[in-house]
Amino acid sequence: MRSGHICDGESLQDSKRVLTWHDEFPYRFWIGSLRTITGSQIIQSFEVQRLKRDAPNPSLKEQRLRLNLISNVVDQNNNTLTAGKFRSLPLGEILIERAELLMAALQRESWKLGSVTLIKDSQVRNSKNKVKREMIENSIIKGANVDDAILIAKIYVDQCKISTVRAAQRTADYLGVEVKLVHVALKIARRNMWLTSIGS
C-alpha cells in the first residue's frame, strides 16, 4: 500500500497540522488533522479520490497545498469531523448545488458559442411557490408539443451530462414549468428518437 505524510513542523512531535495519504486501489484517501493543546489529533479534512491505473504518488507541491488548506483553529463548539457528521451530510443537496453550478457554466459557454442557450439566468429551486407560479404562467413554453420537446430534451440532456440527480426536476425549475410537462416532452422526444432512454 502506497502512503505518505507531510506536516507543518520539523517533526511530527512539534507539528500542529498533519496530512496523510494512502492508496487502497482504486481510491486514495487524504486525511488532515490538527493537534490540540492536549496532544490529540482532531480530523479537519477527509477526501476520497478515485485513481486511474498507474497513478503517480502525489507531488510534494500538491501535498503542501493540501496541508495549507487544513484549518489550524480548534472549533469551540466541538464541530469536528466524525462518522456521524459524514452520515448527516446532505449529499443529494450537495450534488444538486454542483449540478447547478456546472449548468450555469454550460449556459455561459453555449451563449459564447452561439448554440442553444438556456432561458433563465436565475435559479428557482429555492423560490417561493408564488414566484414559481408566475414563472410558469409567463414561460414561453406553453405545452409539450414537438417544438417545445426538442428544446426541453436539449436542456434535459445538458442537465444529465452534469448530473442525473433529479435532472427532470432541475430542467423544470430552470424553464419555469411543471415537471410533468418535462416528462411528457421527454416521451415525445424518445418517441421521435431524438433522445435515448439513458438521456442522450
Mean predicted lDDT score pLDDT of the chain: 78
The reply to whether 200 falls in a domain is no
Least confident of 81-90, 100-109, 184-193: 100-109
> 97 is in which domain, residue-wise?
91-191
Q: How far apart are CA 91 and CA 101, in angstroms?
A: 15
State the cell numbers at 103. 449548468
Domain termination site, one of 54, 87, 120: 87
Q: 56 and 139, same structural domain?
A: no
Domain stops at, among 43, 66, 87 = 87
Question: For position 144, what pLDDT does the model report?
Answer: 57
Report residue 76 as a C-alpha cell: 469551540
Shared domain for 107 and 159, answered yes or no, is yes
Count: domains in the chain? 2
Tell me: the pLDDT tens digits for 102-152?
A: 777 777 777 676 654 444 444 434 444 444 444 444 444 555 567 778 888
Nine-digit cell string for 83: 462518522
Q: Are residues 108 and 163 in the same domain?
A: yes
Among 32, 96, 41, 99, smallest CA distance to 66 is for 32
Q: What is the pLDDT of residue 134?
A: 45
Q: Are residues 75 and 118 in the same domain?
A: no
- Decide if pLDDT at 22 tops 90: yes
Question: pLDDT class for 191, splitting at 50, 70, 90?
Answer: confident
Q: Which residues neighbour 114 within 8 Å (Cβ) at sequence distance 6 or greater?
A: none
79 and 104 in a single domain? The answer is: no
* Residue 127, in any domain of the structure: yes
Residue-level pLDDT at 64:
95
Nearest CA-CA partner of 20 in 10, 5, 40, 8: 5
Tell me if 54 is assigned to some domain.
yes
